[in-house]
Structure 1
């Protein structure tokens, strides 16, 4: 049985606080030692962040092998590596606030920022866990900041016998979703295609050597 966690799309230009605040983040414990935190209207200046990301990020299209052919990855991507400046000061402040808030649990700061540009409802990401690098064997975190049109992040246990625990979080404009604990090893997540959606950018903050 699927449970949806939804929010109404709102511009955070007036509703969000002037600086990222972790005080309103709510945690949902999951099976297998995993958990998900959600912060609504968390990112300040979300309108300006969205416009800046669409305009200034050096987006690239990727291709991948699938069965007997090579296909386009259904979204545009770019990753800001360790030491690279982020394209908007609100994202730098967000990364620093997340690093401070989760330091006791995570034991290290967030270091990279992977960006995905979902141009419309046809862009998506298939079921997966971030298990390249340390995420395959250690508890870690991936913090996602979403700006633009709402899209649902679907989550399900890797164990087929536990699939009734599957649920979805609707990521609205300026929302924060953090997947932590064993989430990358014991759960999978996806952003499926939808019939209609406007553009959205997802920024995923990760620690060192988590992909």
Structure 2
């Protein structure tokens, strides 16, 4: 699969490893929601990006919109609780996130959903991860971003707090927690300025999609 990565701009260490999570910064969004952000959580992000683009069995999906069948504007992959993840670094990352948030989340992260945004024409519309328990319970979704920087936009479902945008770069981590999936929506807007590809890895607990 041909995707564009400007390697000279990114972390080029061969070994893939994570940095300590103790430097993570939390922002209270209101309505019981919050986000944690840690830039450059991952070292060797170039290596992991290239491996995932090459080795993951990416699939294209379609959906019905306005009575037409349209292509979903990104490629997808999903790994359940019992599925081996496509790179050992993702296993390590999931374990570290589960350990760090154990007291607050009360359960481990178990699944990994992957999205490949091939360029700025790919994106994801406003939504919350409300399929399953995320629609009725507080939970967490941890996202590791690899490749070209993209904005993650967040907006409240009810009037009140101001919308939020976070520019996620190569190796950055963002965690959406509390009531975020129920009381806020998030999106990755399309962009005419983006030419490079991005991989998003979303770690979730059981029963949250």
User: Structure 1 CA distance, aligned partners of 2:107 and 2:34?
Assistant: 18
Equivalent runs, 1:83-162 vs 2, <5 Å: 83-159=82-158, 161-162=159-160
Deviations 1:101-150 (A, max 9, x none): 00100000000000000000000000000000000110000000000000
- RMSD (CA atoms): 1.6
Moved over 6 A (4+): none
Task: Check whether the contact 2:16–2:48 (CA below 8 A) recurs between aligned residues.
Answer: no
The one-character-per-residue Cα deviations of 1:37-67 (angstroms, maximum 9, x if unpaired) are 0011001221111001100110000000112
For the 8 Å contact 1:130–1:136, the answer to whether it is kept is: yes
Gaps of 5+ in 2: 1-7
Q: Does 1:44 align with 2:43?
A: yes
Q: How many residues align?
A: 200
CA contact (8 A) 1:120 1:196 kept: no
Are 1:193 and 2:208 matched, yes or no? no
TM-score, normalised relative to structure 2: 0.92
Alignment TM-score, normalising by the size of structure 1: 0.91
Is residue 177 of structure 2 the alignment partner of residue 180 of structure 1? yes
